[in-house]
Amino acid sequence: MPLTAEDCRSARALLGWGQEDLAARSSVPRVTISRFEKGTSTPVVKTLEALRSTFESAGLYLKDVDGRHRVFINASCWLIAFLKASQQIKIGDRIEIDERPDETLVLRNVSRNDDIRAAGAPLGGQWRYNYARAGDKGIVYEVSPPREDPDYGDVCQVSYRLDPFDIETAIRSA
């Protein structure tokens, strides 16, 4: 399904990116993106593929609903993990999110056979919709450096993509 100018603008808005951000991530010149979004030119197929690939690498997938309507599905999720000095999580690790009887979340690092306690979903905020949910399975694509939290000790943000990509899970998370 070809990427349209409207798709490009919508995807950037969903990700909170400006044209400069998209240009830096995709290696497509900002002027090319601007002309495409204004409708004054249509990029070559290779450029459209680069833009689409950049959105997909950020976890945003374009899906055809019924041949007339298209939606973006965000398959990127995140959570705050409470780490001990001995625990590690790395990019590429396979993870699962479980919920304990007391309703706390647990990040199960399947790759390293380790359970890591995680914070519950934030009560508000722009990115609450794609916070981790019990039952999620994915692959880690970003881990922030650990930081000291006064209440919880060492914490870090772990971002992952649902894997295998499950449209029902992604829609549930939206």
Q: Residue 17 maps to which CATH number?
A: 1.10.260.40
pLDDT at 48: 95
How many domains, in total, are found in the chain?
2
Peptide bond into 164 cis (omega under 30): yes
- Domain check: are 130 and 63 in the same one? no
56 and 82 share one domain: no
- pTM over 0.85? The answer is no
**Does 66 share its domain with 80?**
no
Q: Are residues 85 and 167 in the same domain?
A: yes
Q: What is the structure's pLDDT at 95? A: 94
Q: Do residues 98 and 57 both lie within one domain?
A: no
97 and 151 fall within a common domain: yes
Measuring CA to CA, which residue among 26, 160, 151, 42 is closest to residue 92?
160
Q: For 27-78, how does the pLDDT look when each residue is reduced to its tens digit (9 = 90+)? A: 999 999 999 999 999 999 999 999 999 998 887 888 877 777 788 877 788 8
Identify the domain containing residue 16 by its residue range: 5-73
The domain boundary residue, chosen from 18, 50, 73: 73
The closest of 115, 129, 120, 87 to 102, measured between CA atoms, is: 120
Q: Are residues 54 and 98 in the same domain?
A: no
pLDDT value of residue 34: 97
Q: Are residues 99 and 40 part of one domain?
A: no
CB neighbour burial string for 111-145, b if at least 16 within 10 angstroms, e if fewer: eeebebbbbebeeeeeeeebbbeeebbbbbbebee
pLDDT at 141: 85
Q: Clarify whether residues 55 and 87 are in a common domain.
A: no
Last residue of a domain, one of 31, 48, 73: 73
Residues of the chain with pLDDT under 50: 174
- Whether 83 and 108 share a structural domain: yes
- Distance between CA atoms of 30 and 32, rounded to whole angstroms? 5
**Residues 99 and 57 both lie in one domain:** no
Residue where one domain finishes, among candidates 38, 73, 108: 73
